[in-house]
Chain A
Amino acid sequence: MLWFALHLNGLPLEAWLAAAPDGAGWPCCVAEAKCVVQADAPALALGVTPGMSVATASSLAAGLQVFVRDAAREAALVERLALSLARFTPSVVVQRDGVLLEVAASLRLFGGARALWRAVREAAAASGVRSLHMAAAPTAAAAAVLARVEPRSPALRRLPVPQRLDALPLAGALAAWGLDARLADLLHGIGCRTLGDVRMLPRTGAQRRGMGPLLEAIARARGEVPDPQTWLAPPRRFEMGLELLHRADDAAMLVFATQRLVQPLAGWLAQQWLAAAHLTLVLRHETSVRHALPDTELVLALGDPTRDAAQLLLLLRERLQRTALPAPVYALVLRLDQAVNHAGREAGLWREQGGAGHGEDTRALLDRLAARLGAERVLRPRLVADHRPEHAMKLEPAQEGGAPRRHAAAPAAPRPAWLLPEPTRLAEEPGSGRPLLQGAPLARLGRAERIEAGWFDGLPVSRDYHVAQAPDQRWLWVFRERRGEAVHWYLHGVFG
C-alpha cells in the first residue's frame, strides 16, 4: 500500500478565493468568532496575524476584507479536489481539511510514484488549491499526520517512515489527531517531546494515565492495528455549482471559474469510466426584485464524447467567448446531462493517413469548430436519392454524421460542382429567346436533360437542363422552366 496525503493548509481562505484568478486583489482574511483564522500574504505583510481580533486586524490593514469562515464552502472545495483526484485512483478518502489517495495500484499506469506525485500536485493546482502539503507513507494515518505536522525538509524525507513518525513533535501530532491538548502538557512535564519518546514509555502505565487514544493512533500510523477508511462515494449524477467571489461580466473570469468545475467533472467521469456527451453550463445572473433574469444555459453537445479536462474546457471556453451575457454572473453550475461508456482513448497503431500522425481526431476538431461557430455552420453534405438537383443533397451538422451512409446512385448526366442557393432568372434575347448573361447570349452545348419530379411532395419541377458556355468561358448549368405559361431561363449552377 502507498498512500498520498494532501493537506490543504490554506483551506479557510482558499475556500473563498477558489474562483478568483489571483487572490482577491486586496488584503483579506478569514475570521471565526471575531478572531482572524487565516490571512493572505498582503494582509500578513501589513501585520495581521492569525489569532488577532478582527477589530485589531482592520485597524492594521486598511481595506481589509474579512470573510466569515464557511464550513460548507470548505467542504465543497475538498469535495472538488477529491473528485478531481479520482482520476488517479478509485480509492479516495475525503477528510475535513485534506484528501487521502491510495495509489499503489496506479503507479505503473502513471509512470511511477514521482511522476504521479507531480501529476497529483498539478491536478490540485488546477482545481484551485494553491497551498498544499503532501506526504507519502505506507499507511493512511502516517501519511495524513506527516502531511500535517512534519516540517518541510528534504533531508527528513529520505529517512524511513517509522523514524519520521518518531521524530514528529508531540503537540502538532495531538492537534492533527484531535486529541486533548492537555496531554501534551502532561507528557512535556515528564520529558516527552516527540512521538518516539511516548513510545518508549511503559505501555500499561501510559494506558492507565489516559494515553490510550494516543497510543492507538501511533499504532495505526505504524500499521500495527487495522485502520479502515471510508472511501469517497461519487455522486450518481454530476451537478456542481460554484459561487464567484466577484460578479463576473467577462468571459475570461467565467472561463477561469469553469476550470474549477471541469476538473472535478473529468475526475468523476474517469472514475465511472464514462465520457461526457452532453453538458449544460448554467450561468446564474444577479437578479433583483425588479429585474428577474432567467439563468443563461449553455448547452454543449459533443460529437466526440470525451473526459479530457483540457478538451472540455476548450469547448466551454469557445462557447463562453461567443455568448453575450445579459447581466453579470454570480454563480456557475455545471451539469452533466448525458454520458456514454468510454474505456479510455485508443492509440492508433499506425499513423493515420492524410495528416502527419501527430494530429488529433477529426471529430475533436469539429467539436471545437462547432463550439465557436455554432453547429449550424459546420456542415457535412449528404446525398439524397432525388432527381431534383436542389433536393439531391442535404447539409447537416457535421458533428452528427459519422457512420458512412449508403450513397445514392450518381446521376448519369453531368452535374455542376457549384449550385446556386436559388435559381437566378436570366434575361432572354428578344428574337430567338436565347438566355442572356450580362448582356451576352449563352451558347448551349449538347442536348437537354429533362427532369420532372416532385409531384409526390408538392414541389413539382419540370425543367430542361442545359450546359451552357458563358462569355467568360465558364460552364454554366441553366434550365428552362416548362411549367406555367411563360417560358423562362434560369441559371442554377456553375461547373467549377
Chain B
Amino acid sequence: MRSAALAFLAADGSSAQRLPPVWCADQLDRPTGSEGDGLAQRPTGHAALDAELPGGGWPAAGLIELLLPVPGCGELRLLAPALAQGGALLWVDPPLLPYAPALAALGIAPDRLVIVTAAKPADAAWAAEQALRSGALSAVLWWERGEGRPSTATATLRRLHLAAQEGRTPLFALRPALVRGQSSPAPLRLALEPAAPSRLVVDVFKRRGPPMAAPLTLVLPGPASRRARRAGAGPSLTPDRQDHAVVRPAPERATA
C-alpha cells in the first residue's frame, strides 16, 4: 500500500514537467483549443487580428462575443472568411433579412445556411443550444434580441458556452455594445466600431492574454475599396457586365 502510494507520488512528480504549459496571464495564451482538445483554431482571414487572438484565430469551440454599436457595421465581412469554409451554419434571430446573393458573394453558399427566427428570446437561446449540442454544424451565430436593454442572463450565456464546448462548435454571439460593462463567461470578447472609410476598429477587450495596447483597425473588403478592386478583379460599384438590357448604368446627370 505504502509502496504503491510512493510510486504514485514519484510518477506524479516526474510527470509535472510533461503537463501542458500553464497559461500565465502576462502572455497570450497559445492553446491547441483551450477547452476542446487538439482542435485547430480557425484563422480569421485577417492577419492583424489573428496575431491578437489566443491561438492565432477564432476558437474552434466555445462562446465568442462580438459587441456591435448597430447591426450591419461590418460584422459579416469580418466573419465571412471564417464562415466561408466548413459545413452547415445556423443563424439564430438575425436582426434583418440576410441577403443570400450578397452572402454567396462573401463565400457563404445559401444552401449551407439555416435561419431560425424565434418568437421569444428563450426560444432563440434554446435553438442555439440544441444546435451547439448536436455538433452537426460548423458555426452558430446568435443575435441577442432587445434593442433597449439586453436581458440575457449570465446563466444563459454560461449554458450556451458549455453547450458550444460540448458540441465543439463555435458560437458567435452578436450583442449590443451596451453589454460591454457586464460580465460574461465568454473567454473572448470583441467590440466592433465602424470607422471611415471601410475600416473596422476591433477592440479585443477580453482574451486570455494581456490587455491590448490599442484597438486594432482592420481594412475590410467592401464596396468602398472599389478603386483597389478595379485595378484587380472582382465586383465593383459600377456593373462591369452590361450585357443585359434591363440592368444598365444610369445615364450621367448633373444632380439627382
Contact = CB atoms under 8 A, between A and B. Distances in A.
B237 A413 contact: yes
20 contacts: A354-B138, A355-B168, A369-B127, A377-B118, A387-B244, A411-B101, A412-B240, A412-B241, A413-B239, A417-B98, A418-B94, A419-B97, A419-B99, A447-B237, A450-B247, A467-B237, A475-B222, A475-B224, A480-B256, A494-B96
Given A355-B136, A494-B71, A381 B100 contact: yes
B69 A453 contact: no
Interface string B132-172: 00111110000000000000000000000000000111000
A324 to B, nearest CB: 14
Contact of B86 (A354, A410, A487): A354
A216 interface: no
Given A373-B116, A381-B100, A494-B71, A464 B135 contact: no
Interface of B: 36, 39, 69-77, 86-88, 94-106, 109-111, 113-119, 123, 126-127, 130-131, 134-138, 167-169, 194-198, 222-224, 226, 235-241, 244, 246-250, 252, 255-256
Contact of B247 (A356, A368, A387): A387
Contacts of A413: 235-239, 247
Nearest to B99: A419
User: Among B94, B104, B109, B240, which residue has the most Cβ atoms of chain A within 10 A?
Assistant: B104
B130 A449 contact: no
B246 A449 contact: no
Contacts of A446: 223, 226, 236-238
Interface string A391-422: 01101001001001101101111111111110
A359 B135 contact: yes
User: Among B86, B136, B194, which residue has the most Cβ atoms of chain A within 10 A?
Assistant: B136
A416 B249 contact: no
B242 to A, nearest CB: 9
User: Among A369, A467, A480, which residue has the most Cβ atoms of chain B within 10 A?
Assistant: A369
Contacts of A310: none
Interface of A: 352-362, 364-366, 368-369, 372-373, 377-383, 387, 389, 392-393, 395, 398, 401, 404-405, 407-408, 410-421, 432-433, 445-453, 464, 467, 469, 472-475, 480, 487, 493-496
A417 B72 contact: yes
Contacts of B104: 383, 407, 410
A380 B247 CA distance: 27
Given A368-B130, A417-B106, A494-B96, A362 B136 contact: yes
A472 B237 CA distance: 20
B137 A418 contact: no
Contact of A445 (B103, B224, B256): B224
B36 to A, nearest CB: 7
A421 B99 CA distance: 10
User: Among B73, B99, B246, which residue has the most Cβ atoms of chain A within 10 A?
Assistant: B99
A356 B246 contact: no
A82 B206 CA distance: 59
A433 B247 CA distance: 24
A362 B194 contact: no
**A-B residue pairs, 7 tightest by C-beta:** A359-B135, A446-B237, A354-B87, A496-B76, A494-B72, A354-B138, A356-B168
Contact of B77 (A360, A412, A496): A496
A417 B76 contact: yes
Given A377-B117, A464-B250, A354 B137 contact: yes
Given A360-B135, A404-B111, A412-B239, A473 B250 contact: no
Contacts of B238: 413, 446-447, 449
Nearest to B109: A407
Given A449-B247, A473-B196, A495-B102, 15 more contacts: A353-B86, A355-B135, A359-B137, A381-B98, A387-B244, A415-B101, A416-B102, A418-B76, A418-B96, A418-B97, A445-B237, A447-B237, A487-B256, A495-B72, A496-B77
Nearest to A407: B104
Contact of B97 (A360, A372, A420, A467): A420
A398 B194 contact: no
Contacts of A354: 86-88, 136-138
User: Among A361, A413, A446, A473, which residue has the most Cβ atoms of chain B within 10 A?
Assistant: A473
B134 A360 contact: yes
A346 to B, nearest CB: 15
A415 B117 CA distance: 23
Contacts of A373: 116, 118-119, 123, 127
A366 B127 CA distance: 10
Contact of A353 (B72, B87, B168): B87
A377 B246 contact: no
A9 B104 CA distance: 64
Given A360-B136, A407-B104, A445-B224, A452 B115 contact: no
B134 A421 contact: no
